[in-house]
């Protein structure tokens, strides 16, 4: 059986608290007692767990990260940025997903109660913002990595969804496209509202308001993009451009356009959002609004590590602007 701190305490004739103080250099101890405890540790070959030592020091050396699912196309880029930064700061990362719904959240809550990590990074699983806000209010340092325009009551790193939608619209207008179709993301998400408003406002300002029948609900999936375009074509909606709220639904839209005999970009210019790896691999490669995904993960992790080092959190959300990447899916109106 492994040697425990209780074995050391019994052999040295001291309490477990005394052994812990010797291991962690805490408290004033008699030199002879400390020497005796260290001698017993050497004799027994006792090796304290790193976790036990960290907890005794009031820190775990671990950052928690809560995400909805690893299947979201852009989660991996955010996660990689966060992991690289956390590990560079000599912390470990404990990852939680919500793949099992309430069961996943119960498991996460048990680790919160056990104080298994020192701070938390969050890509908000739907319906959890109030709970995360309570954790922060109770003293757990939290940073939200947000693309939904949630604007929580704790620190967050976000991007410019409205400006990104506007970038997409201005590009299409410059190409002479006047009849866009919009395939949105999941209704109710703040980023969906922001992206749609930024896009439609730019078209309206140019004198080409987007009709209601050209605004189609999606859910950020490839199939929703394909189905939305199929419905528009079957319904006789006229369009020469398409803006999808993410690259995955844009790829599905391009698939449906091909099935309908529409050539991209000759007949329909297509713009996505995110600039995940898929965007450069579609045929033709996808023009898209680049969301600074890895940078968001890096900056959020830096903010959290700085807070754990004693620095204050920023008082306002930190916003990183989007970029625009032009590829072969857009071209001037023939």
Those residues whose C-beta lies under 8 Å from the C-beta of residue 114, and which sit 6 or more positions away, are: none
Q: With a cut of 60, say whether residue 56 has pLDDT above it.
A: no
Residue 111 CB-half CA count within 13 A: 20
- Identify the CATH homologous superfamily for domain 161-291: Response regulator (3.40.50.2300)
Same CATH fold, 161-291 and 5-56? no
Distance of alpha carbon 109 from alpha carbon 105, whole angstroms = 6
- Smallest Cα–Cα separation from 76: which of 255, 274, 216, 230? 274
pTM: 0.80
- Identify the CATH homologous superfamily for domain 5-56: lambda repressor-like DNA-binding domains (1.10.260.40)
- Identify the CATH homologous superfamily for domain 62-159+293-321: Response regulator (3.40.50.2300)
What are the C-alpha distances in Å from 162 to residues 32, 41, 75, 126, 190? 68, 61, 21, 21, 10
Q: SS3 for 273-331, per residue? A: EECCHHHHCCCCCCEEEECCHHHHHHHHHHHHHHHHCCCCCCCCCEEECCEEECCCCCC
Distance of alpha carbon 302 from alpha carbon 308, whole angstroms = 10
111-168 pLDDT tens trace: 888 788 999 999 988 788 889 999 999 999 999 997 665 667 889 999 999 999 999 9
Distance of alpha carbon 278 from alpha carbon 292, whole angstroms = 15
Ranges of each domain in the chain: 5-56, 62-159+293-321, 161-291
| DSSP letter (8 states) at residue 191 | H
φ, ψ dihedrals at 223, nearest 5°: -65, -35
- What local confidence, expressed as pLDDT, does residue 151 receive? 66
225-271 pLDDT tens trace: 999 999 999 999 999 999 999 999 999 999 999 999 999 999 999 99
Is residue 198 classed exposed, middle or buried when 0-12, 13-18 and 19+ CB atoms within 10 A define those classes?
A: buried
**Tokens 């451009």 map to which residue?**
241
161-206 pLDDT tens trace: 999 999 999 999 999 999 999 999 988 788 899 999 999 999 999 9
φ, ψ dihedrals at 142, nearest 5°: -130, 140
Those residues whose C-beta lies under 8 Å from the C-beta of residue 281, and which sit 6 or more positions away, are: none
């Amino acid at each position: 059986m492994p040697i425990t701190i209780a074995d050391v305490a019994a052999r040295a004739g001291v309490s477990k608290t005394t052994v812990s103080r010797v291991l962690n250099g805490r408290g004033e101890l008699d030199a002879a007692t400390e020497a005796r405890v260290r001698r017993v540790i050497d004799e027994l070959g006792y090796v304290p767990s790193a976790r036990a030592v960290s907890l005794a020091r009031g820190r775990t050396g671990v950052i928690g990260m809560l995400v909805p699912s690893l299947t979201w196309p852009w989660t991996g880029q955010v996660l990689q940025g966060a992991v690289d930064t956390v590990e560079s700061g000599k912390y470990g990362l404990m990852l939680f997903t919500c793949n099992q719904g309430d069961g996943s959240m119960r498991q996460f809550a048990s680790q919160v109660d056990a104080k298994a990590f020192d701070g938390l990074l969050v890509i908000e699983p739907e319906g959890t913002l109030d709970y995360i806000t309570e954790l922060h209010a109770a003293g757990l340092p939290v940073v939200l990595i947000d693309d939904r325009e949630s604007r929580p009551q704790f620190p967050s790193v976000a991007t410019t969804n409205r400006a990104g939608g506007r970038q997409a619209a201005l590009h299409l207008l410059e190409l002479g496209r006047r009849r866009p179709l919009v395939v949105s993301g999941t209704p109710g998400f703040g980023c969906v509202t922001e992206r749609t408003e930024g896009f439609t406002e730019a078209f309206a300002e140019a004198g080409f308001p987007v009709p209601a029948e050209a605004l189609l609900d999606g859910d950020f999936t490839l199939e929703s993009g394909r189905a939305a375009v199929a419905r528009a074509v079957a319904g006789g909606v006229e369009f020469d451009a398409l803006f999808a709220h993410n690259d995955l639904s844009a790829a599905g839209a391009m698939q449906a356009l091909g099935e309908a005999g529409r050539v991209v970009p000759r007949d329909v210019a297509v713009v996505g959002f995110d600039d995940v790896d898929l965007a450069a691999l579609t045929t033709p490669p996808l023009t898209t609004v680049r969301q600074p995904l890895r940078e968001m993960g890096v900056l959020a992790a830096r903010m959290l590590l700085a807070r754990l080092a004693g620095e204050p959190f920023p008082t306002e959300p930190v916003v990183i602007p989007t970029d625009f990447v032009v590829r072969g899916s857009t071209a001037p109106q023939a």
